[in-house]
Amino acid sequence: MIKEGEKIPENISLQYMDGKKLKTVKSGELFKGKKTVMFAVPGAFTPTCSEQHLPGYVTYSYEIKKKGVDQIICLSVNDAFVMDAWAKDSDIVDEVRMIADGIGEFTRALGLNLDLTKFFLGERSMRYSMIIEDGTVTMLNLEKGGAFDVSKAELIVDAL
């Protein structure tokens, strides 16, 4: 599992929608030269993710960016089309970048994958938040079990 002080894997493809165009970006390029707050959710459109986690980052996006953060990323092991639909359903304009780890390769490389096959959800991401500075993890807040305590947006605001 990735730890604070370690570099994010650099050569993994992630996807997002740019309007109606599907775009692919290498993980190293996504974080290079930027201060990033990234949070990951087990799945788009799931209750805690849609009702609390994502809305919190949208609500606090101005405060987070005011503290010198270049981008806020929501990562999920979903495809880019689902992430785009979730952004539209959540009325997100540009507060949060919705990044898809479609096959979970990035999540597995971080060691933050979660087996939810017994719930018919397949392999997903653990719920967490992190601060990444120029590709290096400077803070990692990993949730335990089904909790939603340490990865909230307001805690990131306080930590910045």
List the catalytic residue out of 49, 77, 92, 99: 49
Q: Tell me, yes or no, if 74 is annotated catalytic.
A: no
SS3 sequence, 99-114? Answer: EECCCCHHHHHHCCEE
Question: DSSP character for 136?
Answer: E
Is residue 74 packed enough to be buried (19+ CB in 10 Å), middle (13-18) or exposed (0-12)?
A: buried
Q: Are 154 and 60 in contact (CB under 8 A)?
A: yes
What do you get for the CA distance between the two ends of the chain, in Å? Answer: 23
Return the closest-CA partner of residue 135 out of 35, 27, 31: 31
Residues belonging to the active site = 49
